[in-house]
Amino acid sequence: MSDATGTPLKILVLVKHVPDAQFDRHLSGPGHTIDRQDSILSELDEYAVEAALQLAESRGGPKAGNTVTALSMGPEAAASAVKKSLQMGATDGVHLTDPALAGSDSAATSLALAAAVRHLGGFDLIVTGMASTDGETSLVPSQLAERLGLPQLTLASRVELDGDGILTVRRDGEFGSQTVQAPLPALLSVTDQANEPRYPNFKSIIAAKKKKVRTLGLAEIGVSTEQVGAAGSWTRVLSAEARPPRQAGTIIKDTGDAGIRLVDFLADQKLL
Amino acid sequence: MANILVYIDTPAGEEPTKAQRELLALAAALGTPVAAVAAGSADAAAGLGAYGVTTAYTSAGDLDGLLVAGKAAFVAAAARAADAAAVLLPNTGEGKEIAARVGIKLSSGVITDATGIAPDLTVTKPVLAGSYTVAARAVHGIPVVTVKSNSVDPAEPGAGTAHVVELEAGEPGPAARITGTAAKPASGRPALQEARIVVAGGRGVDGDFGPVEELADALGAAVGASRAATDAGWIGHEAQVGQTGTTVSPQLYISAGISGAIQQKAGMQTSTVIVAVNKDEDAPVFEIADFGVVGDLATVLPQAAAEIRRRRGE
Ligand SMILES: Cc1cc2nc3c(=O)[nH]c(=O)nc-3n(C[C@H](O)[C@H](O)[C@H](O)COP(=O)(O)OP(=O)(O)OC[C@H]3O[C@@H](n4cnc5c(N)ncnc54)[C@H](O)[C@@H]3O)c2cc1C
Ligand SMILES: Nc1ncnc2c1ncn2[C@@H]1O[C@H](COP(=O)(O)O)[C@@H](O)[C@H]1O
């Protein structure tokens, strides 16, 4: 692991390949897992890629030896999430894939990701999104921090790294807002308030074609098939039921008394 | 009966909040409630006995200075001390982060966003923005579950005093230090996530949350907002409802001047009753509204607020 002071930063950004929420999403199969066609780089992970790129750029970017490695764990198609990250500006990519990984819960996912991080030699900083847009649990970042023994600076809406390698972030939440601080190495997760993700342009798309993507399997990272997937997960989905779609109710046009009719409706529903 | 550990975070007053009383009610339905109390006085911890808590664990060390890691170590230590059969936490950002780390420490399955827990500890939760309801179980260790507010009736106080046990949580491991906190200004309104009624405004309020607040106050409701409204700076980010804001599931959600984008719906479509006020009859929000008004919120909302006050004889 490189010393954060003055020396180049080695950053890992975690990106997930998820079903596009613009289309209907379905659960199926014995494990009630999500259908993964029409998948994209999780929208919320674009903020993580952007945060990683900005931190690397604040140290002089790739020219100064800073690296941003994008890692995605998922089926074959998940390579496209890595590719999109390279087009945004990540320096290289890693695709962790193995049939045994399918159906991993957050505990199994964080176990595999932690093993991949160790296999890759560790990083000064690991950046993740605030939640995956399919699982929406927000568990993986904290679980990865726990497994790797890293301080977590999660749900950051503002990120600063000083010359001494001290990371300071702002967190906004139910409670108000907080400033938290830790020296590198650390784990950072960012919200959609942290930045504006850049769009890949023609030049960056061409440049991405020359970048390296390594494919890793479970054997290489020293994880057995029983530790991941349904076998290695500590939770199981027993059944799934599609929620009946909400029926549109009564729609009225305001002709001067809509506020009163609204209150009539609330009274009928015993909501007053 | 098995011990069910409830995580009680910073009590604002000394009395447990509605969300905390919901967790306590759920624990009492599943077994014997015990509590891990992260802050507040020993008296407040003992006072949880009024809600059926037999043992309240408090921390020997200060937990407020470190982000998540210290609280997670404390909750895991309390779960071990109580030989708990399950751990229940609030479904807040911090609640989920503590649960995540407790799960690893106890080699236990973590389930977030729970809306119900059966006596056999099967958990019910909505997934994919509320489009499915699943039943899930922890199949390793004990279930560590974060529970959404408004899922069960809150426990009512009775008599009783909890036995207070101070715990040495042990090494939290590397953690970020909290170097500053700015509490959000008290609005006097109910907390967004806990509220029975939410009135939310979007870009359609055009800078003025007055009509939204007036209706909210007439109903005793919390005020919410779309990201367009919070991004514009018309109201604080903590009011944002949706995928990247707060997820709410109140009995009544009144949406005003909000189009109903997928990220907004993700945070409110499991509300029991949805009312929408929008001047565009084609706004997608009407597809999920139980009652919709095509009209200007600037006139409809104040009229409704006045009518509510009139009916209450104010
Ligand atoms: C990664 C990501 C995360 C996001 N997370 C969230 C989130 O958590 N929550 C969220 O809300 N959004 C979120 N968004 C944004 C979301 O996509 C929409 O852009 C946003 O919800 C739109 O807000 P709005 O409905 O207030 O504004 P608009 O879509 O502009 O709609 C305004 C509505 O007001 C109506 N209107 C205007 N004037 C009046 C009037 N006088 N009376 C009545 N009606 C009027 C209009 O007809 C229109 O329907 C996210 C987007 C991204 C990319
Ligand atoms: N399979 C995965 N591959 C890469 N990153 C992941 C994966 N799953 C989760 N993450 C990261 O963890 C964050 C939170 O995911 P989650 O805990 O599933 O809500 C995401 O925004 C990603 O940055």
Look at A76-90, B133-147, B178-192 and tell me which has the smallest mean pLDDT: B178-192
Domain assignment of residue A263, yes or no: no
Of the candidates B22, B15, B5, which has an alpha carbon nearest to the alpha carbon of residue B249?
B22
Give CA–CA dist B127/A106, Å, rounded.
15
- Cα dist. A124→A3, A37, A188 in Å? 8, 34, 11
Spatial strand order of the sheet with B55-59 comes to B110-114, B144-147, B86-90, B3-8, B32-37, B55-59, B163-167
Contact B286 A243 (CB under 8 A): no
Q: Could you tell me the distance, in angstroms and rounded to a whole number, from the CA of residue B264 to the centre of ligand 1?
A: 7
Give CA–CA dist A136/A133, Å, rounded.
5
Tell me if B3 sits within 8 A of B84, measured CB to CB. Answer: yes
Determine whether A72 is exposed, middle or buried from the number of CB atoms within 10 Å of its CB (0-12, 13-18, 19+). buried
Contact A105 B109 (CB under 8 A): yes
Range B232-261 average pLDDT: 95
| CA distance to partner chain A, nearest, from residue B143 (Å) | 8
Strand B3-8 with A39-41, pairing: unpaired
Token pair recorded at residue A16: 């997930």
What pLDDT is recorded for position A5? 47
> Could you give the domains of chain B?
3-167 (3.40.50.620), 197-311 (3.40.50.1220)
pTM (2 decimals)?
A: 0.94
Chain B residues near residue A240 by CB distance under 8 angstroms: 127, 132-135
DSSP bridge pairs for B106: none
Angle (CA) B300-B306-B312 rounded to 5° is 135
- pLDDT band for position A3 (50/70/90)? very low
**ipTM, interface predicted TM-score of the complex:** 0.94
Spatial strand order of the sheet with B291-294 comes to A250-253, B291-294, B273-278, B252-256, B197-201, B222-225
**Residues 6 or more apart from B218 whose CB is under 8 A from it?**
B304, B305, B308, B309
> Residue A150's domain spans which residues?
10-232
Q: From the alpha carbon of A74, which atom of ligand 2 is closest?
A: 1
Domain assignment of residue A52, yes or no: yes
Q: What is the CATH number of the domain that holds A18?
A: 3.40.50.620
Radius of gyration of chain B (CA): 21
Domain assignment of residue A4, yes or no: no
Q: How far apart are the first and last CA of chain B?
A: 50
Q: Enumerate residues lining ligand 1, CB below 6 A.
A: A 43-44, 192; B 202-204, 226-229, 240-245, 257-259, 261, 263-264, 267, 277-280, 283, 296-298
Of the candidates B298, B302, B200, B196, which has an alpha carbon nearest to the alpha carbon of residue B249?
B196
- pLDDT band for position A135 (50/70/90)? confident
Chain B residues near residue A154 by CB distance under 8 angstroms: 67-68, 93, 97
Domain assignment of residue A267, yes or no: no
The helix (run of H) or strand (run of E) holding residue B135 is strand B132-138
Question: How many structural domains are present in chain A?
Answer: 1
Domain assignment of residue A247, yes or no: no
Domain assignment of residue A249, yes or no: no
Range B282-311 average pLDDT: 97
Strand B110-114 with B144-147, pairing: parallel
- Per-residue pLDDT of B146-200, as tens digits, reads 999 989 999 999 999 999 999 998 889 999 999 999 988 788 899 998 899 999 9
What pLDDT is recorded for position A253? 98
Q: Which amino acid is at B125?
A: K
Domain assignment of residue A264, yes or no: no
Domain assignment of residue A272, yes or no: no
